[in-house]
Chains A and B, each alone.
Chain A
Amino acid sequence: MRPRVVVTGMGVVSVAGWTLDETWGAIVEGRSGLGTLTLFESQRCGKLPVGEVTGDPAERSGLPGGSRSDHLAVWAARQAWGDAGLAEHRWDTDRGAVVLGALTGGMLFTEEFLTRLRLEGQVDARHLDDRACCNSADRIAEIFGLGGFRTTVSNACASGGSALGLGCDLIEAGEADVVLAGGVDSLNRIVLNGFNSLMLVSPDGCRPFDSERKGMSVGEGAGVLVLESEEHAIQRGARVRAWLAGRGNTCDAYHVSAPQPEGRGLCEAMRLALAGAGLSPSAVDYINAHGTGTADNDPAEARAIRALFGDAAPAVSSTKRFFGHTLAAAGAIEAIVTVLALEHQAIPPNLGLRTVDPKIPLSPVTEYRPAKLDVAMSTSLGFGGNNSAVLFRRPGTWEAAR
């Protein structure tokens, strides 16, 4: 019997807030966090709404040095650790693992180094050692003394979801009892200019699935979930937030940056998640969609949902206008939102949507809506055709193993 993987703690930071409560508060109030870029100057991109975290992550992480991503990740990890009560019980931290999704790492340091070198002829090596995207996972492992498996997954915008999947792999393989799994990314010039040069960024903030949508909004943040074998959680008397009952990871092998138009890869990922959970499509009550607001993503995702669920699609919303597209953190932050939705028994609204694109076969939920939710899914799609689907079940909807 495969061990059940449960979520016993969560920690998050984004423009929407520094805590789970602040994050859900923004959702309840329908308050978009998108705003003006202040982190650095940009001629071309300076007016594009972004999801820039307010406050200085370096002042809040408790980490003496490191990149912006490191600070965001450590903050979220500390929250998740406390939320899971992992310090309250003795357990073998050598069987504690860290799997983080990351793309940017210390890219801001790379930018600063190269800019100083080229424009001022100055060599400033002080932060070179903080560039790698694997540093965030290392800092987390060091802070909590986690001597188990440790890695960084970099699957573009599907990284967060992939990291959660790998966390499950580790627990199911008996390689770890507890996994701090999630994702992190921070704003920087390369990423903002990169997406802008691909004409993927909206000048008026992302409007997922909208007929007038003009693209995505870049965001930043971190999400960390404590995944644990149910047996281990019960043994230490942990409170279970949800059961990560199924997941799927696929690759379109279609194009370097555009999704397969029918969303076949995502459809398969969702199907795998359902199969893993032993559930049929009709069991799903809510999907937190990737829904970036780009011309290509939204229809492909909608078609994937249609193909799998037919006319009986569950409630769907994309929460990207709350946070922006937080890249490698998205799969994790949005998984957290999905679990919160199950806890609060309410569907987060698809903020920014006014009129659904007539070519998109979906009717996303546009108002905060209390609902009976037992099963919810979070989806992510990334460059390179990576697709991720993660399925959660609410506590009380299954019999815990003895």
Chain B
Amino acid sequence: MATLEQQIKERLVETLGLKIAADAIDDNAPLFAGGLGLDSVDVLEIAAMLSLHFNVEVTQQDSGRYREIFANVHSLADFVRERQTASA
């Protein structure tokens, strides 16, 4: 069973149409500064992906924490775990 991080990476590649393998993404590497060239629209793509595939909603209230939540794959996974626990 793939880890949450692995699942997220696979969804990232699929959702954003990235030309790299999921494995090539380092869990702790910044998603936005350089590297993958992601931008503010991609934040929303990723948010939509989290909603669709992980049943987790990013709302306007989270906007203060965007940098934190979307920093890297690891922080995304933490956010998902946090939300999934909260609704359990």
The reply, when asked whether chain A contacts chain B directly with Cβ atoms under 8 A, is: yes
Residues of A within 8 A of B (CB): 197-199, 214, 255-258
B48 within 8 A of A: yes
User: What are the residues of chain A within 8 A of B47 when measuring CB–CB?
Assistant: 199
The number of chain B residues with a CB under 8 A from chain A is 7
Could you name 15 residue pairs across A and B whose Cβ atoms are closer than 8 Å?
Answer: A197-B44, A197-B48, A198-B41, A198-B44, A199-B44, A199-B47, A199-B60, A214-B60, A255-B39, A255-B40, A256-B39, A256-B41, A257-B40, A257-B41, A258-B40
- A255 to B48, alpha carbons, bound, how many Å? 20
User: What are the residues of chain A within 8 A of B60 when measuring CB–CB?
Assistant: 199, 214
Contact residues of A: prevailing secondary structure: loop
Mask of B24-54 contacts with A, CB within 8 angstroms, 1/0: 0000000000000001110010011000000
Min CB distance A7 to B, Å, is 37
Min CB distance A188 to B, Å, is 19
Min CB distance A383 to B, Å, is 10
Min CB distance B43 to A, Å, is 9
* Beyond known contacts A198-B44, A256-B39: 13 more, CB 8 A cutoff: A197-B44, A197-B48, A198-B41, A199-B44, A199-B47, A199-B60, A214-B60, A255-B39, A255-B40, A256-B41, A257-B40, A257-B41, A258-B40
User: What are the residues of chain B within 8 A of A257 when measuring CB–CB?
Assistant: 40-41
Residues of B within 8 A of A (CB): 39-41, 44, 47-48, 60
CB nearest neighbor in A for B39: A255
Shortest beta-carbon contacts, A-B, top 10? A198-B44, A257-B41, A197-B48, A199-B44, A258-B40, A199-B60, A197-B44, A256-B41, A255-B39, A214-B60
CB nearest neighbor in B for A215: B60
Min CB distance B78 to A, Å, is 21
- A214 to B60, alpha carbons, bound, how many Å? 9
- A256 to B37, alpha carbons, bound, how many Å? 13
CB nearest neighbor in A for B60: A199
CB nearest neighbor in A for B41: A257
User: What are the residues of chain A within 8 A of B40 when measuring CB–CB?
Assistant: 255, 257-258
- A61 to B14, alpha carbons, bound, how many Å? 45
User: What are the residues of chain B within 8 A of A198 when measuring CB–CB?
Assistant: 41, 44
- A128 to B48, alpha carbons, bound, how many Å? 30
Min CB distance B76 to A, Å, is 17
- A198 to B39, alpha carbons, bound, how many Å? 12
- A345 to B19, alpha carbons, bound, how many Å? 58
Min CB distance B33 to A, Å, is 16
- A197 to B49, alpha carbons, bound, how many Å? 11
User: What are the residues of chain B within 8 A of A258 when measuring CB–CB?
Assistant: 40
Min CB distance A273 to B, Å, is 29
User: What are the residues of chain B within 8 A of A197 when measuring CB–CB?
Assistant: 44, 48
User: What are the residues of chain B within 8 A of A214 when measuring CB–CB?
Assistant: 60
CB nearest neighbor in A for B45: A197
Specify which of A197, A214, A255 lies most central, judged by the most chain B CB atoms within 10 Å of its CB: A197
- A256 to B39, alpha carbons, bound, how many Å? 10
Min CB distance B15 to A, Å, is 12
CB nearest neighbor in B for A214: B60
User: What are the residues of chain A within 8 A of B44 when measuring CB–CB?
Assistant: 197-199
Min CB distance A209 to B, Å, is 18
Min CB distance A377 to B, Å, is 29
CB nearest neighbor in A for B47: A199
- A214 to B61, alpha carbons, bound, how many Å? 11
Min CB distance B56 to A, Å, is 15
Min CB distance A46 to B, Å, is 17
Min CB distance B88 to A, Å, is 24
- A256 to B40, alpha carbons, bound, how many Å? 10
User: What are the residues of chain A within 8 A of B48 when measuring CB–CB?
Assistant: 197
CB nearest neighbor in A for B58: A199
- A198 to B63, alpha carbons, bound, how many Å? 13
User: What are the residues of chain A within 8 A of B41 when measuring CB–CB?
Assistant: 198, 256-257
User: What are the residues of chain A within 8 A of B39 when measuring CB–CB?
Assistant: 255-256
- A255 to B39, alpha carbons, bound, how many Å? 9
